[in-house]
């Protein structure tokens, strides 16, 4: 993206056939780590798709009524049940953290160390809030008797899909939060300004690492968009 020589190459599909067409670097202007992260995210997309497709298959093929998620995930505010309240708040928290991450990437490329660091820290705290609310949601459902093999609301398959899908997503969020804290520290310490070498590598640190971290974090938000639509709203 930062390479001015890219402007002299053709764009669009013509550019694609040029880039792919001969013995040369295919992904021009994209740091190798970024390509690797994208390919990892593509494989992760397939894993989450398999979960959601098996959920679709399980829900369609059961002859027992599926639990009404609107009621199952409602919270009582002053004695009145508000449908999906916690899930809605979780969605907004995750989108907020995605926005702060996008801005962190922008300030990173502008070499604004302080802003970048604080925004990554804000993103990490958003992610931590999300995981905290998920823990609350899980414990609430477990108290109500939801298990992977049974639940008091309807079709038995509900529990196993719920714990599997939200659990796998929550694991992704937790791993993301850990990396966000690590990278916030690296940014504040100035690793990306003075090109300090990383712990596992001899290569110099660069703010492109923040964009790669951002890709992962936005992907976590992206998966939640699909889980929210298919599991909670459908």
Partner 1 sequence: MDEIQNKEQSTSTHKIGIYLWIWGLLFVLSFFSYMVDWFAFQGFLRWTLILIFMFLKAGLIMAFFMHLYWERYALVNVLLWPMTAIAGFIILMAAEAKYTVFTRLLYFFIGG
Residues near partner 1, by CB under 8 A: 1-4, 6-7, 11-13, 15-16, 19-20, 26-30, 35, 38, 42, 45-46, 49, 53-54, 56-57, 60-63, 70, 83-84, 88, 91-92, 95, 98-99, 101-103, 106, 109-110, 211, 214-215, 218-219, 221-222, 225-226, 228-229, 232-234
Which residues, at least 6 apart from 79, have a Cβ–Cβ distance to it below 8 Å? none
Least Å distance between CB 94 and partner 1?
9
Least Å distance between CB 19 and partner 1?
4
Query: Considering beta carbons, is residue 60 or 194 the nearer one to partner 1?
Result: 60
The CB density around residue 234, as the number of other CB atoms within 10 Å, is 11
State the Cα–Cα distance between residues 168 and 172, nearest whole angstrom.
Answer: 6
Least Å distance between CB 199 and partner 1?
26
According to DSSP, residue 79 is labeled T
Phi-psi region of 147 (alpha: psi -120 to 50; beta: other; left: phi over 0): beta
Query: Considering beta carbons, is residue 4 or 201 the nearer one to partner 1?
Result: 4
Query: Considering beta carbons, is residue 6 or 178 the nearer one to partner 1?
Result: 6
Cα–Cα distance list, 46 to 41, 51, 54, 170 (Å): 9, 9, 12, 17
Helix axes 113-143, 85-109, angle to 10 degrees: 160
Query: Considering beta carbons, is residue 11 or 195 the nearer one to partner 1?
Result: 11
């Amino acid at each position: 993206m930062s390479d001015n020589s890219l402007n002299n190459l053709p764009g669009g599909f013509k550019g694609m056939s040029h880039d792919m067409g001969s013995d040369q670097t295919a992904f021009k202007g994209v740091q190798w780590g970024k390509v690797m992260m994208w390919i990892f995210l593509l494989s992760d997309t397939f894993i989450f798709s398999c979960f959601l497709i098996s959920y679709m298959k399980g829900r369609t093929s059961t002859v027992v009524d599926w639990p009404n998620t609107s009621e199952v995930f409602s919270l009582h505010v002053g004695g009145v049940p508000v449908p999906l309240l916690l899930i809605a708040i979780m969605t907004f928290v995750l989108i907020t953290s995605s926005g702060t991450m996008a801005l962190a990437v922008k300030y990173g490329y502008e070499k604004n160390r302080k802003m970048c660091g604080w925004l990554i820290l804000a993103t990490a705290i958003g992610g931590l809030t999300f995981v905290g609310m998920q823990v609350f949601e899980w414990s609430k459902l477990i108290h109500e008797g939801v298990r992977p093999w049974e639940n008091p609301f309807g079709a038995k398959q509900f529990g196993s899909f719920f714990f599997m899908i939200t659990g796998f997503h929550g694991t992704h969020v937790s791993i993301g939060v850990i990396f966000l804290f690590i990278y916030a520290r690296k940014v504040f310490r100035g690793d990306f300004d003075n090109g300090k070498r990383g712990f596992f590598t001899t290569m110099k640190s660069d703010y492109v690492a923040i964009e790669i971290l951002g890709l992962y974090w936005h992907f976590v938000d992206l998966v939640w968009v699909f889980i929210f639509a298919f599991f909670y709203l459908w």
